[in-house]
């Protein structure tokens, strides 16, 4: 029996155990609060994972989160989202030591989840993991507790199969990813590194070597309040905001025609929140809306997008008598750059071999529409990085989130094979005799 067949056999034998570990993590409430600005509950999951990792033989370090390190990222790299509450929030940096001179590899996953939304839409509780029809349901099942646990179980699978780690394997469980990636940023800036990295985000059984950059804008518009019976003497801030939103729709259309990328979809501009007014009988004197831009790396930049969005809004404001004298206020409250990985890099080849061994020859190498921490590992840390993990993007941020159990187990095998392949080769400069 060769190594791959042995791993498959052990995986099936330990199937229930590996699924139980994921259930236990899903049962931990690790929600982010207010995009991280108001804090997060990640400690619940970190305490569970710390015990699990230590019991498996890992060296585990708690890395505290601070505003200072975020400000350092902003100053040095233009990355970081300030003003978050880090009370009881920290990264876990775990290392499984290898036996030889093989290359090291890092598996990076976030433990935080988005809020669960309307509980009435959940068939079972978000923290009550349940299996139905081969699917494991619960908050974070796809995004991305299955990826985090699969990376840990990938190491355990090798141990259970009696196979040694040929190089060091690092597992990062980071906080505040949904807050813009501050957890991974802090880990990188603290000097934690490896010869290669895998982001364990759900990848729809693909290998992702690129992702979009993102910018969240808030636009505040003022008006003049008055009883709606005399609305002609007031200024409706909601209606003025609508003028600006229509202008932004035109800008998005222009981008669709102008910008292309071989591995990524077209850039998008989404107005996701709008609020204003006090009553139907009152002309609203204030309105604000929030939008998110996903832009293409290489052909677009944070600076160019910010300039185009600002110019489009202000140019439209100049064409309106009220807005010309009372210009809208534009601010950015979260942002992150794009990511691209060289298609011919050896890491991509390693990932492709592992994925195709498990899923077959048709595994595509492409890009992801959503931003993630890959940009921080590659752009800030200089670490070659790919994204591949269990789960499906269509399951993220929705009620009754689930991951296919077979998909989760398959990625445990993918990660084990990736470790053997990548770490089984000597580090650059090591004695190969």
Which CATH architecture group holds 213-336?
A: 2-Layer Sandwich (3.30)
Q: What is the pLDDT of residues 121-132, one digit of tens each?
A: 999 999 999 999
Confidence of residue 429 (pLDDT cuts 50, 70, 90): low
Q: Provide the token pair at 184.
A: 């991974």
Mean pLDDT of 54-67: 97
Q: What is the pLDDT of residues 197-239, one digit of tens each?
A: 999 999 999 999 999 999 999 999 999 999 888 889 899 999 9
Mean pLDDT of 309-315: 98
Residues 6+ positions from 168 with CB-CB distance below 8 Å: 95, 96, 97, 98, 104, 105, 194, 423
Q: What is the pLDDT of residues 322-338, one digit of tens each?
A: 999 999 999 998 888 99
Q: Give the CA radius of gyration of the chain.
A: 24
Q: Given this model, what pLDDT does residue 431 score?
A: 44
Confidence of residue 433 (pLDDT cuts 50, 70, 90): very low
**For all residues of the chain together, what is the average pLDDT?**
95
Looking at the chain, which residues constitute the CATH 3.40.630.10 domain(s)? 3-211+339-423
Domain 3-211+339-423, CATH among 1.10.490.10, 3.40.630.10, 3.30.1330.10, 3.30.450.20: 3.40.630.10
Q: Given this model, what pLDDT does residue 430 score?
A: 52
Looking at the chain, which residues constitute the CATH 3.30.70.360 domain(s)? 213-336
Confidence of residue 370 (pLDDT cuts 50, 70, 90): confident
Mean pLDDT of 8-21: 98
Q: Provide the token pair at 388.
A: 């591949």
Confidence of residue 53 (pLDDT cuts 50, 70, 90): very high
Q: Provide the token pair at 33.
A: 């609060």
Q: Judge whether residue 385 has pLDDT over 80.
A: yes
């Amino acid at each position: 029996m060769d190594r791959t067949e042995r791993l498959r056999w052990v995986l099936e034998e330990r199937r229930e155990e590996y699924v139980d570990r994921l259930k236990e993590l899903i049962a931990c409430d690790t929600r982010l609060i207010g995009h991280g600005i108001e804090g997060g509950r990640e400690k619940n999951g970190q305490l569970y994972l710390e015990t699990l990792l230590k019991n498996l033989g890992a060296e585990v370090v708690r890395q505290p989160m601070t505003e200072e390190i975020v400000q350092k990222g902003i100053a040095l790299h233009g990355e970081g989202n300030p003003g978050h509450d880090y009370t009881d929030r920290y990264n876990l940096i775990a290392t499984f030591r290898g036996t030889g001179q093989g290359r090291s590899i890092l598996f990076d996953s976030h433990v935080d989840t988005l809020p669960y939304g309307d509980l009435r839409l959940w068939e079972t509780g978000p923290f009550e993991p349940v299996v139905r029809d081969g699917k494991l349901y619960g908050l974070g099942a796809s995004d991305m507790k299955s990826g985090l646990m699969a990376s840990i179980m990938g190491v355990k699978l090798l141990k259970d199969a009696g196979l040694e780690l040929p190089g060091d394997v690092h597992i990062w469980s980071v906080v505040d990813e949904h807050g813009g990636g501050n957890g991974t940023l802090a880990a990188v800036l603290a000097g934690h590194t490896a010869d290669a990295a895998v982001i364990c985000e759900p990848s729809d059984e693909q290998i992702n070597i690129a992702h979009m950059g993102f910018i969240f804008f808030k636009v505040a518009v003022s008006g003049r309040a008055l009883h709606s019976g005399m609305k002609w003497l007031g200024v409706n801030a909601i209606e003025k905001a609508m003028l600006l939103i229509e202008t932004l729709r035109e800008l998005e259309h222009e981008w669709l025609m102008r910008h292309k990328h071989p591995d990524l979809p077209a850039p998008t501009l989404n107005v996701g929140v709008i609020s204003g007014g006090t009553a139907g009988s009152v002309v609203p004197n204030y309105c604000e809306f929030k939008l998110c831009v996903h832009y293409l790396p290489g052909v677009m930049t944070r600076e160019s997008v910010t300039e185009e969005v600002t110019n489009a809004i202000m140019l439209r404001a100049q064409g309106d008598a009220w807005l010309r004298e009372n210009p809208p206020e534009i601010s950015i409250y979260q942002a992150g750059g794009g990511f691209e990985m060289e298609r011919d890099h050896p890491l991509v080849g390693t990932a492709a071999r592992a994925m195709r061994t498990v899923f077959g020859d048709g595994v595509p190498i492409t890009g992801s529409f959503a931003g993630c921490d890959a940009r921080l590992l590659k752009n800030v840390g200089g670490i070659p990085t790919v994204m591949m993990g269990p789960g499906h993007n269509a399951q993220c941020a929705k009620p009754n989130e689930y991951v296919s159990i077979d998909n989760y187990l398959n990625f445990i095998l993918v990660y084990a094979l990736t470790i053997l392949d990548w770490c089984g080769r000597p580090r650059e400069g090591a004695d190969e005799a």
